[in-house]
Amino acid sequence: MHHPDLSDQDYETLAAFRHALRRFAAFSESEAKARGLTPQQHQVLLAIKGTPGRPALSVGEIAAHLLVRHNSAVELIDRLADAGLVMRAPDPQDRRRMLVTLTGQAEHLLVALSAAHLRELRAIRPALLSLLRRL
Amino acid sequence: MHHPDLSDQDYETLAAFRHALRRFAAFSESEAKARGLTPQQHQVLLAIKGTPGRPALSVGEIAAHLLVRHNSAVELIDRLADAGLVMRAPDPQDRRRMLVTLTGQAEHLLVALSAAHLRELRAIRPALLSLLRRL
DNA sequence: CCTGTTATATCGTGATGCGACATAACGAGT
DNA sequence: ACTCGTTATGTCGCATCACGATATAACAGG
């Protein structure tokens, strides 16, 4: 299997792109932890809030959105429920499924978190666009 | 502390952006593991290769690039050295520092890995650009 | 030489996602 | 209505990985 030419520039761009992603992930983790959330717990809340026209997601849908196994999603949701950030209710249409909804407290957290993330993303957008252009 | 208005669109875009990043991370992890590397080991190799005009990086520089503590970098490098992918040599200018260089085997791995990553990034670039535009 | 600082290395620990397994509910076919 | 295969959620023990704490060695300035 032969691979096309890769210039030093290509490696440099790839490395810089990954570094930028890591910096964003570190920013996000710091913001989440400052509010008592693990990064993945934050992503659960965002996944629910960010699904348009749906007030709730099932455990499996959350797992699919986070790209984790369902049992990992269960544990995340357990801890969020303990913290009073989500509520579980059986889906009346399919009693196997548990629908997870945000509490008011979670909505509040998400306003602050999402505003901070939007600000950060707008700040780094030029750099990301420049890197993407270079690929 | 008051936060500016956030529309449902904002949350949707943020969630979609994070989902896209996770999908890329999953792709990258899959490619790395298929070649016997952990995702972080791949990032060590890429950091060295992607630093222009430098054939080697010190342990501390690698840690800074990966945003991990130096002791974590040491462990990553230990395993890469055991696998024959990097070599350590003390910096003659400063014998506290260990300079980490890639072996030919690592260079080979990186060609294939980086080509795959470039392909994937070019494939998802339109989606990423669209999401960034929406922020 | 001291002495404070920096760079790397070692070791034990805590968190997190996973595999394996279990239970319950659905639905198609008979 | 009953079986049977499938799907959804939940439980448990384990492996991995990054970290904090600590140790050692080498530098730099006085």
| CATH number of the domain to which B55 belongs | 1.10.10.10
For residue B132, the chain A residues in CB contact (below 8 A) are 121, 125, 128-129, 132
SS3 of residue B85 by DSSP: coil
In a domain, B135, yes or no: no
Q: What is the mean pLDDT of chain B?
A: 96
Q: Which residues of A touch B (CB under 8 A)?
A: 1, 3-4, 6, 8, 10-19, 21-23, 26, 43, 46-47, 49-52, 65-67, 110-112, 114-115, 117-118, 121-122, 125, 128-129, 132, 135
**Res B1 pLDDT > 60:** no
How large is the average pLDDT for residues B64-78? 98
**A117 C-beta neighbours (distance < 10 Å), count:** 23
In a domain, B111, yes or no: yes
Distance in angstroms, CA of B49 to C1' of D29? 36
In chain A, beta strands by DSSP E: 56-58, 86-91, 94-102
Q: Chain B: give the shortest CA distance to residue A13, in Å.
A: 7
pLDDT for position A1: 55
Task: Find the CB nearest A135 among B17, B23, B122.
Answer: B122
Using 50, 70 and 90 to split pLDDT, how confident is the model at A69?
very high
How large is the average pLDDT for residues A107-134? 97
**Res A60 pLDDT > 70:** yes
Distance in angstroms, CA of A33 to C1' of D14? 26
For residue A132, the chain B residues in CB contact (below 8 A) are 121, 125, 128-129, 132
In a domain, A93, yes or no: yes
In a domain, B2, yes or no: no
Q: Mark the nucleotides of strand C covered by protein, meaning any atom under 7 Å from a CB.
A: 6-11, 15-21, 24-27
In A8-84, beta strands by DSSP E: 56-58
In a domain, B5, yes or no: no
pLDDT for position A59: 98
Using 50, 70 and 90 to split pLDDT, how confident is the model at B86?
very high
Q: Chain B: give the shortest CA distance to residue A90, in Å.
A: 24
CB contact under 8 A, A46 and B14: yes
Task: Report the domain count for chain B.
Answer: 1
A58 with A91: CB under 8 angstroms?
A: yes
pLDDT for position A5: 82
In a domain, A3, yes or no: no
Task: Find the CB nearest A6 among B26, B114, B128.
Answer: B114
**Res B129 pLDDT > 90:** yes
Provide the terminal-to-terminal Cα distance of chain B, rounded to the nearest Å.
22
Task: Find the CB nearest B46 among A15, A23, A65.
Answer: A15
CB contact under 8 A, B118 and A12: no
The ipTM estimated for the assembled molecules is 0.93
Taking the C-alpha atoms of residue A134 and residue B67, their distance in angstroms, rounded to an integer, is 23
In a domain, A2, yes or no: no
Which range marks the domain in which residue B25 is found? 10-130
A23 with B67: CB under 8 angstroms?
A: yes
Task: Classify strands B94-102 and B56-58 as parallel, antiparallel or unpaired.
Answer: antiparallel
How large is the average pLDDT for residues B120-125? 98
How large is the average pLDDT for residues A54-78? 98
Taking the C-alpha atoms of residue B92 and residue B122, their distance in angstroms, rounded to an integer, is 41
